[in-house]
Chain A
Amino acid sequence: GESVGLHLPTLSVQEGDNSIINCAYSNSASDYFIWYKQESGKGPQFIIDIRSNMDKRQGQRVTVLLNKTVKHLSLQIAATQPGDSAVYFCAEYLAGGGADGLTFGKGTHLIIQP
């Protein structure tokens, strides 16, 4: 079954506000978690990743939080811009599984309102 999912299929936020995109995972043994962004008509683009031994990782305007207790992952985007409009996927990876060990979620569509 689907081991990686998203709480909301669509998220609408005002330009300049912060966005939080959530993801639940079911395999407590997963070692890595990755966020991808996919703009309309394009291939996915890597945003940020986090290892299971970390709780938080920050990038440029993005922060990923990992809560292993409740098996929850979130992507925070600060001061959202029109260019942030896209579908965001989380993915989890179980070490030792080869490329098969990577499972993608269905995605959340982030819409930025002007």
Chain B
Amino acid sequence: NAGVTQTPKFQVLKTGQSMTLQCAQDMNHNSMYWYRQDPGMGLRLIYYSASEGTTDKGEVPNGYNVSRLNKREFSLRLESAAPSQTSVYFCASSNRGPYHEQYFGPGTRLTVT
């Protein structure tokens, strides 16, 4: 039981490049989330998926897209990376909703130059 896994762990992009962050969970959770974490700020929700087949915008969705590929996988795509997207990205999952225990992945540290 690996919990929540994320790839890659580190990534450096040039402005304008695109990439996809991968996330998978093996706990059969319905809900999955993408957050970003910036210094001096709390976790901010980018997108979430309450169940397979649904996705919704969070607090900071601009510049991102997501895909809930199946119940296990939830990917985050940056179509044209900008320096403002330099951050640590966390994927999380929960069984019954955001206020219940969320399980977080180890994070992806992204730098956009």
Contact = CB atoms under 8 A, between A and B. Distances in A.
Interface of A: 2, 4, 31-32, 34, 41-46, 49, 89, 91, 93, 95, 98-107
A93 B99 contact: yes
Contact of A99 (B31, B40, B104, B107): B31
15 contacts: A2-B42, A34-B99, A43-B90, A43-B92, A43-B107, A44-B104, A46-B103, A49-B100, A49-B101, A89-B42, A98-B56, A100-B58, A103-B42, A104-B42, A105-B42
B45 to A, nearest CB: 6
B99 A31 contact: yes
B43 A99 contact: no
Ranked 8 nearest A-B pairs via Cβ: A43-B104, A104-B42, A93-B99, A99-B48, A46-B101, A32-B99, A99-B98, A104-B43
Interface of B: 4, 31, 33, 40-45, 48, 50, 56, 58-59, 90, 92, 97-107
Contacts of A95: 99
A46 B100 CA distance: 9
Given A99-B48, A104-B43, A104-B44, 11 more contacts: A4-B42, A32-B99, A41-B106, A42-B107, A43-B104, A44-B102, A46-B102, A93-B98, A98-B56, A99-B33, A99-B97
A49 B99 contact: yes
Given A43-B107, A44-B90, A99-B48, A89 B98 contact: no
A32 B99 CA distance: 7
A45 B42 contact: no
Most buried by B among A49, A93, A99: A99
Given A43-B105, A98-B56, A106 B41 contact: yes
A93 to B, nearest CB: 4
Nearest to A107: B42
A99 B50 contact: yes
A99 B102 CA distance: 11
A100 B40 CA distance: 20
